[in-house]
Amino acid sequence: MVFYVKNIVELKNIAEQLLTTAPQNNIWIFEGEMGAGKTTLIKEICRSLGVFGNVQSPTFSIVNEYFTENEEIIYHFDFYRLENETEALDIGIEEYFYSGDLCLIEWAKKIPNLIPKKFIKIKISVLEDESRKIELIFT
C-alpha cells in the first residue's frame, strides 16, 4: 500500500488510514532519512488515537510513553543514539515489545536482532518536489 503526501495537513488522513489498515499489529517501524517526517507522522497517529499532551521524539530518552483518552499506552522509541543492541536490552526493550501495547519505532535498524518477526514497516521517502511517499509493508 502506498500513499503520497504533498503537505503536512494531509498527514492526519494518512494516520487515520494507517490505523484502519493495520490495527492488529502492535510493532510499527518507521524508516526514512533524517527529516523525512517519521516523528511528524507519529504525532498524527498519536493524535488520531486520542493521546493527551505533547508528542515528541524520544531522541535523548530513547522511549516516551503516551496515554490515550481510553487509557491505552503507546510507546514511542527512537534508537538513533544507540551504540549497540545491549543498550536497548538494558532499558528492557523486550518487555515493551511483547506487552501488547502499540510500539512506534524510529531507527529500528540499530537493533535488527531485537525486533519481533511480525511488524509493520512504514517507509517514508522524500521526493524531488519535497512531497512524501509513504509505503506500508507487512511482514
Per-position b or e across 30-62, b if 16+ CB within 10 A of its CB: bbbeeebbbbbbbbbbbebbebeeebebbeeeb
Cell of 14: 494518512
At 88 the pLDDT is: 97
At 23 the pLDDT is: 66
CATH of domain 2-138: 3.40.50.300
Apex CA 2: angle with CA 5 and CA 112, to 5°?
105
pLDDT band at 98 (very low <50, low <70, confident <90, very high): very high
pLDDT band at 107 (very low <50, low <70, confident <90, very high): very high
Report the percentage of the chain scoring pLDDT > 70: 99
Give domain limits for the chain: 2-138
Of 115, 131, 122, 107, nearest to 1 by C-alpha is 122
Per the CB < 8 A criterion, the answer to whether 75 and 91 are in contact is: no
Res 30 pLDDT > 80: yes
Range from 24-33, 52-61, 105-114 carrying the lowest mean pLDDT: 52-61
Of 19, 26, 16, 22, nearest to 116 by C-alpha is 26
Report the percentage of the chain scoring pLDDT > 90: 79
Per the CB < 8 A criterion, the answer to whether 55 and 65 are in contact is: no
Of 52, 49, 1, 4, nearest to 26 by C-alpha is 49
